Every structure is written in C-alpha cells, then in structure tokens.
C-alpha cells in the first residue's frame, strides 16, 4: 500500500520477468538515488537473493518494500497511466515518447491523483506483445543505434533521473541549482537569524581590518547585505563564510598584538 500522497509517491517502477537478481538490486539503487521508492516485481526468476541485496548498495528499504506479483496486469491494475520502456518495435502500435516527455506525462498524471507505472521488460527479450498491449505509450531511450544494448538497471536510471528532474521542476527548483550535502540532501536556505548573524560578524570583521578607513560603514554594509541576499545563501554557505570571517578576525588580532 502506498502511504506517500505526493505525486512522486504515486510513481512505481515495474520490472517484468527479471532474470538476474543483481539487476533488481541495481534498479533499486537507481531509483532510490533519484528519490523514488516503489518497486514492483513481476514474476522475477530469483528473488529474494543475496546478489540483489549486494547490488542495492544500501537501498535496502526499496527492496524490503518491493511488491511481488505474478502478472503485469496485476502490477498495473490500479494505474491511470502505464508506460512501457522498450526498443523501437513495429509489433505493437504505441505512441513513442522520449524519456523526458514520458517523465513529464507521468508526473502530470500523478499530480492529478492517478497511479503511474513505468514498466521494464526482461534483460534479453524485453516486454512481450501481450504486455505491451497493457501500456498506454512506449518510452524509447535514444541510444547509439550502432550499440544500443542498454543494461536494465542503466535504463531504469535514465528514466528515474528524468522523473527526478520533472519532480524538481514542478517544485520550482532548477535541478542545476540543487546543492546536495554529503548525505545526498540539498542544504536548506539560510534563515533570517543566520543571515543576520553573518552580517553582524561581517561588520565586526570589516572594523577589525580597518576596511572603512574612517568612512561611515553604513553604505558599504547596505551594499554587502544586498549582495549576499541576492545570492540566496544556504546554511552550509553561511557556515563557510562565517568560518572565513572568524579566521580574518583572528589574523587581525594577531597583527594588532604584533604591532603593539
């Protein structure tokens, strides 16, 4: 059962007939790094399996919550939109989407309250005709036609990334401006109090190094405040700047002692 009411929480990755358990683990890792959590396994040949656990590389929560069913029809029964990831084929006439367009359409459907499935087939043979008939559209990754052999987990990663970009875009974030910390989470923007602390320390530092040279500090501080506010500093950046100011203040004290 899905307990996440957000649009991203209504997105599921479905793997059909996966032959190698390591690919299940790698796919779990791929979606987890992109903020997705829902994995459905349709008749996997070997699962649970130690290779899946090893290749998940810490995405154990995704594997533990993975739903196992016997048919694709069961896996997507409650879905408003089903997208099948496949190589180009004339066997089944489906609208073909790029990964980016597919992600946008998936998120739009999820945003309207619908459940959405992105379906991936077997490593060697992909999705069967009957399974493609259950899909509303096909997703084709435009790989090099001279070497289009894409690993299952790599294909999952491509689609998971596009979903991540779509989710961030819908939240008003530019993916190029998201700055992750060591744990993989973006640093929150600095609070008003943190910025005021920075400005107070900056004013003290400028006095300590005699930056103003007898002039009123008001004009310079107004300009500096505007500059830093325009930069949209996050908490880590404020800590970095305050560390630099602390070192500058220490050096100013040492210089004063040497001069005295």
- Write down all domains in the chain, each with its CATH number in brackets: 8-177 (3.40.1280.10), 192-259 (1.10.8.590)
Least confident of 15-29, 32-46, 52-66, 230-244: 230-244
- What confidence tier does 184 reach under pLDDT thresholds 50, 70, 90? very low
Length of the chain in terms of residues written: 260
The Cα–Cα gap between 123 and 149 comes to 10
- What confidence tier does 88 reach under pLDDT thresholds 50, 70, 90? low
pTM over 0.85: no
Over residues 141-160, the pLDDT tens digits come to 999 988 888 899 999 999 99
Predicted local distance difference test score (pLDDT) of residue 91 = 62
| Sequence-distant contacts of 87-95: CB under 8 A, at least 24 apart | 87/126, 87/140, 87/148, 88/140, 89/132, 89/138, 91/129, 91/132, 92/129, 92/132, 92/133, 92/138, 94/132, 94/135, 94/136, 94/137, 94/138, 95/136, 95/137, 95/138
Residues 6 or more apart from 135 whose CB is under 8 A from it?
82, 83, 84, 94, 119, 127
Least confident of 75-79, 154-158, 183-187, 192-196: 183-187
Handedness of CA 247, 251, 257, 260 (dihedral sign): negative
Given a contact cutoff of 8 angstroms between Cβ atoms, the answer to whether 15 and 40 are in contact is yes
Predicted local distance difference test score (pLDDT) of residue 229 = 86
| Bridge partners, 117 (sequence order) | 12, 82
Quick one: how far is CA 104 from the chain centroid? 15
DSSP string, 22-87: HHHHHHHHHHHHTT---EEEES-SS-S-HHHHHHHTT-HHHHHH-EEES-HHHHTTTEEEEEEE--
Share of residues in the chain with pLDDT > 90 (%): 63
Higher per-residue pLDDT: 2 or 222: 222
């Amino acid at each position: 059962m899905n307990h996440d009411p957000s649009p991203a929480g209504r997105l599921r990755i479905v793997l059909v007939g996966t032959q190698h358990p390591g690919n299940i683990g790698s796919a779990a890792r791929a979606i987890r790094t992109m903020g997705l959590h829902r994995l459905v396994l349709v008749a996997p040949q070997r699962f649970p399996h130690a290779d899946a656990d090893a290749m998940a590389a810490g995405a154990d929560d995704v594997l533990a919550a993975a739903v196992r069913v016997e048919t694709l029809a069961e896996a997507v029964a409650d879905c408003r939109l089903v997208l099948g990831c496949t190589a180009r084929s004339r066997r089944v006439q489906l609208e073909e989407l790029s990964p980016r367009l597919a992600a946008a359409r998936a998120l739009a459907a999820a945003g309207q309250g619908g459940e959405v499935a992105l379906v991936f087939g077997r490593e060697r043979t992909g999705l069967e005709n009957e399974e493609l008939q259950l899909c509303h559209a096909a997703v084709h990754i435009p790989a090099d036609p001279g070497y289009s052999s894409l690993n299952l987990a790599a294909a999952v990663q491509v689609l998971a990334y596009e979903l991540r970009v779509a989710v961030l875009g819908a939240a008003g974030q530019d993916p190029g401006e998201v700055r992750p910390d060591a744990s993989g989470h973006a640093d929150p923007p600095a609070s008003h109090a943190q910025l005021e602390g920075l400005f107070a320390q900056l004013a003290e530092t400028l006095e300590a190094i005699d930056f103003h040279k007898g002039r009123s500090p008001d004009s310079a501080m107004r300009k500096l405040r505007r500059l830093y506010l325009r930069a949209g500093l996050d908490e880590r950046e404020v800590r970095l700047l305050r560390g630099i100011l602390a070192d500058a203040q220490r050096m100013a004290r040492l210089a004063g002692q040497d001069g005295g």
